[in-house]
Amino acid sequence: MPADHQSSPWTRSGVQAGAALGAAAVLGLADITVALGRQPPLADAVRTTAAALGLGLCVLAAVPVALLLAGASQVVRRRPPSRRVWICLTLAGLVLTAIVVALRVDLGEVDWHGVDPWTPGSLALAGAVYLGLAFSLTRLRRAAAALVVALAAAAGIAATATFTASAPQARGEALAAIDESSVISRGLAHLVARRLDADGDGHPRWLCGPSCDCDDGDAAVHPLADDVPDNTVDEDCDGEDQSGTVLAALEAELAPPPPRAPAVAPPTRTRPPNILLILVDTLRADHLGAYGYARATSPRIDAWAKTGVVFEQARATGPSTRFSVPPLMIGKYFTEIDRDKYEWPTISKAETLLAERLEALGYTSGAFHSIRYLRPFYRLNQGFDHYSDASLDVRGPPLNMTSSDFITDEALGWVDKVHLGDKQPFFLWAYYGDPHSAYMRHPGFPVFSQLYRDLYDHEILFTDHHIGRLLDGLAERKLTDDLLIIFTSDHGEALDREQDHGSLNHSRNLYDELVRVPLIVSGPGVTPGRVSTPVSLVDFVPTILELVGLPHDPELRGMSLAPWLRGEDPHHPPVFFEKHRALDDPQKGMIAWPYKAILTVPTGHVKIYDLEKDPKETLDVFDTIDPTEQARLVGLIKHWTTHVLKTIHPEYRH
């Protein structure tokens, strides 16, 4: 083949376009293959639909790139770059990327084990396919490049048509799987959804048909719209107009029971109890002996738990610190809290935190923290007499430090300094951050083995030891006789991609490895025992208010857990939690035992799990449970989302 024919502008354009489209097609299929491999078994129709969407999105997204490269090749009139030039350009691009990453990311703060290898792997795959096609097509006739372009374009069009023709339910499930586990297709799906949402209500009909939005020309009609009862209009796209009878039943089930007097009147108190809140960051309930874990990770916590009430089914209000600690201290759900628009929100001064409420009773308060989001900048320090984040500066960098010993020493030092025995009552908050990744090794403590989850257990054991030191120190100072102790965590942790729904670390979903947390309470008037009723950390503030004698605030969410602490077993309404990250679709979760429902907000897609039969949440029973029960569960979580939850900043993605 003549060299001048090889290097003609049209050949070069076809080479660039074909290489770009071919690389995009391979990337789309690979991305979906990896994503679906991280999901529990899915129906064939769902897998096919997901593969079609991934392939179609990647090819369509590559079209402008292909046109740009083709145009650039038309401008360049000299011979195509040699292989050596290609390699040098590629290496220069990698170096530039590394420099940008190093400037934007604190590499000392990265848990490299938790980094998804498919993130750089997908880019490397796309680059390798692109270079391979570019090298190959430059040695073939113009027709070969045209054939690659045609095949890639046809694959993208066929994939898009296949996805569009799929059943709405399959499209909804495919989108949910992509949002949870994909790296590339997830972002493209969000971009397409925003661009094709005709009425701007946040519910894109194109992606999953009527189940996403049955009328894309009316912003008041979508799956989470207010369905006015008995008006013959189906505003929420569920196929029928809601009846007033059904609405009344939903409201009754979600309403907390009215406060009632205890069966036995509590003894008269001369002053409210002292309060110790121990919060261990990133602690899964199922990795503690008190919750049935076989490994000896928590001997001190387990021994103390026998003196209190163990809530076996407690849930955080979200899967990361920013979604759970503000609700814990304020008593409202995350999206109901006034905050700034940033991913790690600063709490408004207008919010009232627990420490501020306790000030009215003369409490002396101190807090000791080891997680960056608890710095005073974020205003979770409101109401505290003493608030310390010194461990972050003394022991940092925050994600690669040891702090449990520091927190215990600092808390006991404050106790001695302010003479708490003379200034009761007090509120002490000790926040232990060591179980948060990255995991550190501590001399003198068993490592168990070198597996990721074993190092996590090692961190729990280390933290447990220093929590024991705190309890011993308070006992030595004779401060435990009238001490209410609450032990909990802000969220859990995914430790194994195969067992934990395809992810590591936390924040990304609402499965129980991330939202089920320990909750143990001991102290005066507490009857030791175990409670199987699902409860929430949003119940914490109402509980404390009742135990210290402050009136209930009707603006608070949750309900007081004091009845269970007295040995009673009243009704608790369904438990809710939520996730609002900028990176993926918002979700709402609910437990109405034994069922757990997860609602993806933009699409209206709902998953349902039977936690009694399937505690690992491996089988979505949405299509197999009784239709009446299905309608009840879907109605409850949607009604909570649209009517009960008072979202204060609906425009915030987080």
pTM: 0.88
Of 39-43, 568-572, 607-611, 643-647, the one with minimum mean pLDDT is 39-43
Name the residue with tokens 């354009």: 13
Q: What is the pLDDT of residue 170?
A: 84
Could you tell me if 279 and 190 lie in one domain?
no
Strands 426-432 and 364-368: parallel
* CA atoms of 364 and 206, how far apart (whole Å): 57
**Residue 113: pLDDT band with limits 50, 70, 90:** low
Assess contact for 456 and 431: CB atoms under 8 A: no
Which residue range forms the structural domain that includes residue 128? 3-195
**173 with 166: CB under 8 angstroms?**
no
pLDDT reading at 566 higher than 80: yes
Residues 188 and 280 in one domain: no
Q: What 3-state DSSP class applies to 241?
A: coil
- pLDDT per residue as tens digits for the range 541-551: 999 999 999 99
Residue 239 lies in a domain: no
Residues 43, 184 within the same domain: yes
DSSP 356: H
CA-wise closest residue to 281 among 320, 330, 311: 320
Task: Tell me which of 141, 161, 195 is where a domain ends.
Answer: 195
Weakest-pLDDT range from 111-125, 234-248, 365-379: 111-125
Regarding whether 361 and 495 lie in a shared domain, the answer is yes
Is pLDDT at 3 greater than 90 in this prediction?
Answer: no
Give the CATH number, domain containing residue 550.
3.40.720.10
- Which pLDDT does position 5 carry in this prediction? 45
Q: Which residue has the higher pLDDT, 404 or 127?
A: 404
Q: How far apart are CA 527 and CA 211, in angstroms?
A: 48
Same domain, 289 and 159: no
- Does one domain contain both 423 and 293? yes
Domain assignment present for 223: no
Looking at the domain assignment, is residue 70 inside a domain? yes
pLDDT in the model for residue 13: 74
CB 235 within 8 A of CB 228: yes
pLDDT at 2 over 50: no
Question: Could you tell me if residue 642 is left (phi over 0), alpha (psi between -120 and 50 degrees) or otherwise beta?
Answer: alpha
Residue 199: predicted pLDDT: 79
Q: Report d(CA 643, CA 334) in Å as an integer.
A: 16
* Same domain for 624 and 475: yes
Tell me what percent of the residues of the chain surpass a pLDDT of 70: 89
Strands 529-531, 535-536: pairing kind: unpaired
Q: How many CA atoms lie within 13 A of 358 on its CB side?
A: 29
Residue 156's pLDDT is 83
pLDDT at residue 358, rounded to an integer? 96
Question: In the predicted model, what is the mean pLDDT of the chain?
Answer: 86
More confident residue, 579 or 100: 579
Q: Mark whether 515 and 391 lie in a shared domain.
A: yes
- Report residue 197's pLDDT band, with 50, 70 and 90 as the boundaries: confident
pLDDT of the residue at 267 = 63
Q: Is the pLDDT of residue 260 over 70?
A: no
Q: Domain ends where: 153, 177, 195?
A: 195
Candidate from 252-261, 298-307, 560-569 with smallest mean pLDDT: 252-261
The Cβ of residue 183 has, within 10 Å, a number of other Cβ atoms equal to 19
* Radius of gyration, alpha carbons of the chain: 28
Task: Examine residue 237 and state whether it is found in any structural domain, yes or no.
Answer: no
Supply the pLDDT for residue 631. Answer: 92
Q: Which residue has the higher pLDDT, 170 or 113?
A: 170
> Does residue 311 share a domain with residue 176?
no
Confidence band, pLDDT 50/70/90 cuts, at residue 638: very high
In eight-state DSSP terms, residue 650 is T
* Confidence bin at 191 (pLDDT 50/70/90): confident
**Is the pLDDT at 459 greater than 90, yes or no?**
yes
Distances in Å between the Cα of 367 and the Cα atoms of 253, 364, 403, 411 are 37, 11, 14, 8
Q: What's the pLDDT tens digit per position in 202-236? A: 777 777 776 677 888 888 888 888 888 888 888 88
Last residue of a domain, one of 137, 160, 195: 195
Answer yes or no: is 270 within a domain: no
Categorize the per-residue pLDDT at 107 as very low, low, confident or very high, splitting at 50, 70 and 90.
low
Looking up tokens 């992606």 gives 207
* 120 Cβ contact list (under 8 Å, min separation 6): none
Residue 103 vs residues 99, 107, 121, 397: alpha-carbon distances, Å:
6, 9, 21, 16
What's residue 419's pLDDT? 83
Is 105 contained in some domain? yes
Asked whether residue 474 carries a pLDDT value surpassing 80, the answer given is: yes
Q: Both 188 and 279 in a single domain?
A: no
Say which DSSP state 217 is in. Answer: T
Percent share of the chain, pLDDT over 90: 47
The reply to whether 511 falls in a domain is yes
Query: Is the domain of 354 the same as that of 489?
Result: yes
Domain count, the chain: 2
Does 222 fall in a domain? no
174: Cβ–Cβ under 8 A, 6 or more apart, which residues?
A: 46, 47, 49, 50, 53, 163, 166
- The neighbouring-strand residues paired with 274 are 483
Residue 565 has which token pair? 């602490």
- Of 170-174, 332-336, 456-460, the poorest mean pLDDT is in 170-174
Domain match, 503 and 410 both = yes
Q: Are 159 and 55 in contact (CB under 8 A)?
A: yes
Q: Which residue has the tokens 């709402």?
A: 588
